[in-house]
A and B are shown apart, each in its own frame.
Chain A
């Protein structure tokens, strides 16, 4: 019995100790940073966009490091979804199984969240999901570049969804689409106020939609870089930030998938609003 209770007690103690040491390392890092000339952390350098083939000029069509990783995302998608499924096997191989799983995952999401009549927009939603998923996961490779960490990229993605959904809403429902802002379940006196709030929240959608993705990805990468800077400065104690990096990295793997999922499911929700605007 005593043995067992000791084992049960060990978990929280280790956790508390871990976080205490982590906090100490962070604080000491911040306090001693100015005195330490070796500690030069530039967590945002990794997001710099540079021309891929050298040179300083960055025109609209110049291939950049971001272009490279977007192309690699395309290559990854082709490898998984096209090369992986080339066998067309009734009993799938591993690659085909993953491709089918992703297909089923997004298809079911569109069908469940946005409804059966939204299924014809499935290829577009699948495009968004696959691009974000691959950009996020390829960005987790050390020294790589993450296109989805840039607000310009996610803003374009969110604006594509926003414009498409808004136009679709008016095309499908005409002026009835404005019923989305007129909460008929609320008391009449409240409705204009609610309409204003609904209108504001509708136009905030692309902002939150894009910043959520870019912010999550950027923050995770920056935190890893900060810890990496500590590891470089701490000498024999560098194992602590390295442990922290491992933990944050695991979290980032989760975030990479979850953010792709969140972006996609929100797209489905907006699509549902466009197809069925009644409250």
Chain B
């Protein structure tokens, strides 16, 4: 307390300080206020010139980065959705195309089959007609042969019995006989 009393011996409130309140020693106030103001001015300049703009810049840069990242993420998400849509669309188109191709192929095949069937039918009909004609011819041939054989046989039989016969008569007789 020695220095304290020395300092404040000239102070108006020497009594208060003797009780031990250096805070009430008014002789130090000028000094305290001077250094406080110096300190505050220094802090104010350090903050406004360096610290606060820098921290503000860092914070806004971070905010910007985060916003950009979120926007980019949103874009990528949008792209993913679009890609999925495109994929689904392509898939649907491919499916429709395939169905169309299948239907066309089926129609083609059907047409081919129809044409082939018609052709086959026509061929069969032609062959059947041909065969019928051949059969008719054969049948006609057979009747003529029988007629000839019967005429010849009748002539030979009549000749062997000693009859002189006229060829015309024999033919007429055989023909009328064969007609029944």
Q: In the complex, which residue of chain B has the Cβ closest to the Cβ of A160?
A: B40
| Bound form: Cα–Cα A96–B55 in Å | 8
| Bound form: Cα–Cα A99–B23 in Å | 32
Q: Which of under 10, 10 to 19, 20 to 34, or 35 or more describes the interface residues of A?
A: 35 or more
Given contacts A74-B42, A214-B23, contact A45 B51 (CB under 8 A): no
- In this complex, how many residues of chain B approach chain A with their Cβ under 8 Å: the count is 43
Q: Are A126 and B3 in contact (CB under 8 A)?
A: no
* One of A44, A56, A67, A92 near B20 (C-beta < 8 A): A44
Which residues on the B side are within 8 Å of A90 (C-beta)? 58, 61-62, 65
Interface of A, helix, strand, loop or mixed by DSSP: helix
A-B contact count (CB 8 A): 138
0/1 string, B19-53, CB within 8 A of A gives 1? 01111110111111111111110111011101110
Query: Does B77 lie at the interface of the complex (its beta carbon under 8 Å from any beta carbon of A)?
Result: no
Which residues on the A side are within 8 Å of B42 (C-beta)? 74
Question: From residue A211, how far is it (CB to closest CB) to chain B in Å?
Answer: 10
Complex interface residues of chain A between 33 and 90 (CB less than 8 A to chain B): 42-45, 47-50, 56, 58-64, 66-67, 70-71, 73-74, 77-78, 81-82, 85-86, 88-90
Q: Are B46 and A78 in contact (CB under 8 A)?
A: yes
Given contacts A66-B31, A81-B47, A150-B32, 11 further A-B contacts (CB under 8 A): A44-B20, A45-B1, A45-B20, A49-B25, A58-B28, A66-B32, A78-B51, A81-B51, A81-B52, A90-B61, A104-B59
Report 10 cross-chain contacts, Cβ distance below 8 Å, ordered by A residue. Answer: A47-B21, A60-B34, A61-B34, A64-B35, A70-B38, A77-B43, A78-B46, A122-B52, A127-B47, A150-B23
Residues of A participating in the B interface, judged by any CB pair closer than 8 Å? 42-45, 47-50, 56, 58-64, 66-67, 70-71, 73-74, 77-78, 81-82, 85-86, 88-90, 92, 96, 99-100, 103-104, 122-124, 126-128, 130-131, 147, 149-153, 156-157, 160, 214, 218
